[in-house]
Structure 1
């Protein structure tokens, strides 16, 4: 198998119509265009401590009432269903990058969670969900004697 290294600079120089390549590059590399090609869901951090799992979802500009958390079996779903309202109807935008719309993030929880005691809070643009572990699933640490 032969790997061929792609060098976009060489392709621009050797192209039959170099200006055409730069037009396509400017269209497809534009952040306005490329942002719309990527699904917009909030970034999430998932961590584990001794007795909890922690899910942190970055969602600035929302209110805690905008979120819906649902647990079906072992799947935790976080959703926001928000309508975009354009308050500035007298403006014509050249570029409009921030708009919050609907999204759903789903996470399959391990069997070791205590689903009855899941807690969530929204503060400073971050939704924090603390998922406690069952007593038997908590990490036990002990000192092991070396003989």
Structure 2
């Protein structure tokens, strides 16, 4: 659906109503309210190696205390909640802003994972979660079988 420019009085010096709508709706919400209002989900890489699955979450600017990692019914859930506020009082005016940011990602984990040995660390803006495979499910190297 597109807006069609229409102006009932072509000689008017006022902008057409559709131009006002285009100016308002054609912009990102962050142009009006600031970047903190929009939310985004961090990029996630999932890598399988011979002995583990590795989940890497790009989340710069957070602290390890901001994350919640849970494992329940073969579902790994990684989430974060942060709140922040600023207050500026000068002279006869005051400004107070606050924000709330959160995300949550869930992954179904195969039965081959040793759930008791899942580990996580947060370094340089990257949350790394390691899900080691059970010994019996790790890939075995190929072996030569002799013919008798």
Normalised-by-shorter TM-score class: 0.5 to 0.7
SS in 1 for 2:24: helix
**Is 1:121 the counterpart of 2:118 in the alignment?**
no
Does the C-alpha gap of structure 1 residues 109 and 64 become closer, same or farther in structure 2, counting only changes over 3 Å? Answer: same
How far apart, CA to CA, are the structure 1 residues paired with 2:58 and 2:64?
A: 12
RMSD: 3.5
Cα offset, 1:49, TM superposition:
1.0
**Is 1:136 the counterpart of 2:136 in the alignment?**
yes
How far apart, CA to CA, are the structure 1 residues paired with 2:18 and 2:26?
A: 12
**Is 1:106 the counterpart of 2:103 in the alignment?**
no
Cα offset, 1:125, TM superposition:
0.7
Does the C-alpha gap of structure 1 residues 22 and 69 become closer, same or farther in structure 2, counting only changes over 3 Å? Answer: same
Does the C-alpha gap of structure 1 residues 114 and 16 become closer, same or farther in structure 2, counting only changes over 3 Å? Answer: same
Cα offset, 1:109, TM superposition:
0.7
More helix by share: 1
**Is 1:30 the counterpart of 2:17 in the alignment?**
no
Does the C-alpha gap of structure 1 residues 83 and 16 become closer, same or farther in structure 2, counting only changes over 3 Å? Answer: same
Gaps of 5+ in 2: 8-14
Does the C-alpha gap of structure 1 residues 63 and 37 become closer, same or farther in structure 2, counting only changes over 3 Å? Answer: closer
Could you say which residue in structure 2 is the equivalent of 1:53? 53
More strand by share: 2
**Is 1:42 the counterpart of 2:42 in the alignment?**
yes
In the TM superposition, what whole-angstrom CA distance separates every residue of 1:24-81 from its partner, at most 9, and x where no partner exists? 4443342316x89975222211111111111111111111111121111211111222
How far apart, CA to CA, are the structure 2 residues paired with 1:30 and 1:139?
A: 51
**Is 1:76 the counterpart of 2:76 in the alignment?**
yes
Q: TM-score, normalised by structure 1?
A: 0.67
Equivalenced residue count is 130
SS in 2 for 1:116: helix
